[in-house]
Chains A and B, each alone.
Chain A
């Protein structure tokens, strides 16, 4: 990585995020100092469809974008002329949704005559935990668990990482959503299951843990199926017990794989990221595991687990310092991977 001396701790980045169903903008200075972070969620617009509808998401982004940018800038207390660079999520995500943020961000950068930075949404999730706690020791294991991803990432330094394990089918958050829909708990499923599980017995039902002993990959599709089969065979079962036992199985698998991954890379630090990082059982289980194993655990604040633009601005700042700006010809990359 080449040091880019033009950009430093006083560099102010406007971040924009529109990859899924949150329209977000944030102003972050020097990579970690969050001056503002505004998120306009569309959860209510999609709730009745049981999932995010791409065209509805794209329309909502266009309508919310200007207001969200305006709020982020005014809440940051810095005048718009003080913005040094504009970062936006270029992928992965919904193509139509991504394009709204990319088009807006490049336009703001063009008019202000400042650099544009295209940010990988997954890389931004890696940085979300560091926003509250930037001075970590590497190597660091990041467990990135969301509706779209379940990744175990070895991070050797800023911008230097590799995926060492992942789901072979459903993402953890996807399993939460599907089981919640089946149990009629609504969308998004993660918070709903977390809530009702508090009233249930996690050991009531022994759901299978797939691939516990093979490497660092995970699988949640079989677990989801066995939950569905169990409830069909036992229609009078307590929904709270099912939710608690299902959640326990997911967290058990994630924690076991995290332990194995952290040992394998000789981790000094372990961080969580993504929407499922807000799950209370995962947070407490990882807290215990890391305390026992002597790894420092970095937990993102609740607002930084789900999609936001502060993490985009932060990842953008690290990219800018390391590699310089992106091309203004950059479009959206809906299938972008974490590499």
Chain B
């Protein structure tokens, strides 16, 4: 992720970053300066994300006591998640970065979920509900104290996801709203096979802007960012019409 953009940003760790996450049922916004979160707001809402987000950004900015001119980069959860919801955050982040002429940092929802888990020897299975009995998922491990993604993110059935954790045969911590929703299905597959397994609770089920901000600051230090125009969402799933078209053309 994140090619180096031709934008000269401030290289100190105190760059102010605006972080936006709308990839799941939650909407969250944070403003941070590398050392700390200056302000943040979060809600789980049945309301459309678009109705909440702009006002939330303005509220958090005022709470943080900064102006938009102080913002040095914008970070956004690029998914996978709910297509319509995640696009609200992505379209907003891209527009803000463009108008402010600052770089954008795109982070996957799976990376955000994994980063929220403190250091452990377990495999961390980040699992996001993709509806229709499917999940978006990826496996992570702490290696030498550093979090590493050990499988490419993918969309699959819940069963396929559970089976792949068995392949590794290690104690596993399941995180995310997909893990909680399909807890019974996952347990059926892994119980008695994995040496041990656990489910992170509801509090850790959704990615948040505060955790996104933490990743964004690390990436900003390495200038792992890009220009707003080039940032694309991580859907992990084609539009239905394209899938049907491909199936029909193949047969």
Interface residues of A (CB under 8 A from B): 48-49, 53, 55-56, 58-59, 61-63, 65-67, 69-70, 80, 95-96, 99-108, 110-112, 328-332
Indicate if the CB atoms of B99 and A49 lie closer than 8 Å: no
Q: Which of A55, A96, A328 contacts B55 (CB 8 A)?
A: A328
Report A-chain residues with C-beta under 8 Å of the C-beta of B89.
Answer: 103
Which residues in window 10-59 of B have CB below 8 A to A? 47-48, 50-55, 57-58
- In the complex where A55-B239, A58-B84, A110-B58 touch, is A103 in contact with B99 (Cβ < 8 A)? no
Known: A49-B245, A104-B92. 8 other contacts (CB 8 A): A55-B83, A66-B94, A66-B228, A66-B229, A99-B91, A102-B50, A328-B54, A329-B52
Report A-chain residues with C-beta under 8 Å of the C-beta of B54.
Answer: 103, 106-107, 110, 328-329
Complex CA distance for A330 and B47, rounded to whole angstroms: 11
Give min CB distance, B17 to chain A, whole Å. Answer: 15
B235 adjacent to chain A (CB < 8 Å): yes
Give the contact-size bracket for chain B.
35 or more
- In the complex where A96-B83, A112-B99 touch, is A55 in contact with B229 (Cβ < 8 A)? no
Indicate if the CB atoms of B241 and A62 lie closer than 8 Å: no
- In the complex where A62-B90, A63-B232, A102-B50 touch, is A96 in contact with B95 (Cβ < 8 A)? no
Which residues in window 91-131 of B have CB below 8 A to A? 91-96, 98-100
- In the complex where A62-B232, A96-B84, A107-B95 touch, is A56 in contact with B242 (Cβ < 8 A)? yes
Closest to A55 in B: B239
Indicate if the CB atoms of B241 and A55 lie closer than 8 Å: yes
Interface residues of B (CB under 8 A from A): 47-48, 50-55, 57-58, 68, 83-84, 87-96, 98-100, 228-229, 232-233, 235, 239-242, 245
Give min CB distance, B90 to chain A, whole Å. Answer: 6
Give min CB distance, A257 to chain B, whole Å. Answer: 36
Report B-chain residues with C-beta under 8 Å of the C-beta of A66.
Answer: 94-95, 98, 228-229
* A-B interface, 6 closest residue pairs, ranked by CB to CB distance from nearest: A55-B239, A107-B95, A331-B51, A103-B91, A104-B95, A53-B241
Closest to A49 in B: B241
Indicate if the CB atoms of A331 and B48 lie closer than 8 Å: yes
Complex CA distance for A328 and B53, rounded to whole angstroms: 9
Report B-chain residues with C-beta under 8 Å of the C-beta of A101.
Answer: 91
Chain B CB within 10 A, most for which of A62, A328, A332: A62
Report B-chain residues with C-beta under 8 Å of the C-beta of A65.
Answer: 91, 94-95
Complex CA distance for A48 and B244, rounded to whole angstroms: 12
Complex CA distance for A330 and B98, rounded to whole angstroms: 22
11 A–B contacts, CB within 8 A, in A order: A48-B245, A53-B239, A55-B83, A62-B87, A96-B87, A103-B53, A103-B95, A111-B96, A328-B54, A329-B52, A332-B48
Give min CB distance, B61 to chain A, whole Å. Answer: 9
Report A-chain residues with C-beta under 8 Å of the C-beta of B92.
Answer: 103-104, 106-107
